[in-house]
Amino acid sequence: MPDCPQCALPLDTVRAREGIHYHCPGCHSYAATILQIRRLAGDKFATSLIRQINTNMTPSERSCPFCGGRMRSFTSQSPAIELDGCRRCCAVW
Ligand SMILES: [Zn+2]
Ligand SMILES: [Zn+2]
């Protein structure tokens, strides 16, 4: 079970119709993979997210809850939210 990169609490697994994602009971953050985001928010949004993870070189202070690697922070344009992404797992925090 992955731990929250922010408060180190074990993440809850949320089984939704669209697939599994992870929720932190401490800071109410969500983690999901690109595959799930594609199902939730559509192809266009997921593709632009992948592009931003791949082009963004700003290392995040958080580690990926799935592989422990350093994530990269970026801000998505629409909607404008600050995100951390792991290129290796295609996961977004
Ligand atoms: Zn947390
Ligand atoms: Zn990872």
Q: 23 CA distance to ligand 1 centroid (A)? A: 8
Residues with CB under 5 A from ligand 1 (ion): 4, 6-7, 24, 26-27
Ligand closest to CA 23: 1
SS3 12: strand
DSSP alpha helix (H) spans, 3-90 = 34-41, 43-55
Q: How far apart are CA 40 and CA 12, in angstroms?
A: 19
In sign, the C-alpha dihedral spanning 38, 44, 48, 50 is positive
Q: 4 CA distance to ligand 1 centroid (A)? A: 5
What distance lies between CA 84 and its chain's CA centroid?
6
Q: Which of 8-12, 73-77, 83-87 has the lowest mean pLDDT?
A: 73-77
Instruction: Report residue 44's pLDDT band, with 50, 70 and 90 as the boundaries.
Output: very high
What share of the chain in percent tops pLDDT 70?
99
Residue 46: half-sphere exposure toward Cβ, Cα within 13 Å = 14
CB atoms near residue 70 (< 10 Å) = 16
What is the model's pLDDT at position 53? 87
Mean pLDDT value of segment 80-92? 89
Instruction: Report residue 1's pLDDT band, with 50, 70 and 90 as the boundaries.
Output: confident
What is the model's pLDDT at position 92? 92
Q: 44 CA distance to ligand 2 centroid (A)? A: 22
